[in-house]
Amino acid sequence: MNPRPAVEPRGEPAPAEHDDGELAPAAIAVDTHCHLFLMEEDPAEVVAAARAAGVGRLVCAGIDPDSSRRSLELAESFPGVFATAGVHPHDAASFDRAAGRVVEELLGDPLVVGVGETGLDYYRRLSPEQDQRRAFRAQIALAREAGRPLVVHVRDAWEDALAILAAERAERVVVHCFSGDEEIARECAARGYYLSFAANVTYPSARHLRAAAAIAPEDRLLIETDSPYLPPQSMRGTPNRPSNVLAVARALADARGREVDEIVRLTAAAAAAAFPFGR
């Protein structure tokens, strides 16, 4: 774990400048899901590059107790960076009372703006399904009690995930790296869930994702990178970075017949509604 870099005091990020001194585009884009702690690059450089690209806020999502603590450390270090705390379905077998206490304690910090990522993954099944469902239910309860949004990972498990979210009365849901089709998007929208699209929406095979992005309500539409995973099509084979969230905005603009700047503004406003930034 790298030592914490020296940084400017926390607060809203200042507008980025180009090398020639001119201001970069307004830093309003929001990467609602990245994993700075998994990137090989210095987090300071990653955040600076995102800022220069026009990304004003990043949500660094924890995947287990240790990475959730690290996410908060990063949020404390860099203006415009926020954290979530949770246990990924891959690690659900290790979710116990101690892990739950760590998540609950971290939620006491205002920089921790969500619970997760949690959810169900029946594709890799790195934890037994029953453990995934148990950990998912427990984290839904933590999110509800803390008044924080729930950041949900779903892969090949839509029927069970949607049933559990309904049964456990999940109140504010962010469906991270949305992987469903139009029908699932409509169901999520009807429930008031936020749909967050990653750069796999740029892949030639992802016509179903672009169709879902085209019909998602504009006040529930989010963009993310899931860095260092899922780079845009033009960068396949390289680690993804938060600065690439603008590629997602461009893909959504094409899918919806809108201007990129408009999508950036809409998704930034939706992110501010989904997550308690600065509140």
Residue extents of the structural domains in the chain: 29-274
Tell me, what's the pLDDT at 26? 52
pTM: 0.90
Q: In the predicted model, what is the mean pLDDT of the chain?
A: 91
In 3D, which of 55, 46, 108 has the Cα closest to residue 77? 46
**Helix pair angle (207-215, 245-256), 10° resolution:** 70
What is the number of other CB atoms lying within 10 angstroms of the CB of residue 90? Answer: 17
Q: Are 52 and 24 in contact (CB under 8 A)?
A: yes
pLDDT confidence tier of residue 27, bands split at 50, 70 and 90:
low
Taking only the tens place, the pLDDT of each residue in 201-258 is 999 999 999 999 999 999 999 999 999 999 999 999 999 999 999 999 999 999 999 9
Cis preceding-peptide flag for 228 (omega within 30 of 0):
yes
If one looks up domain 29-274 in CATH, what number appears?
A: 3.20.20.140
CA distance 178 to 200: 10
pLDDT at 3 over 90: no
CA distance 100 to 85: 10
Q: Are 111 and 131 in contact (CB under 8 A)?
A: no
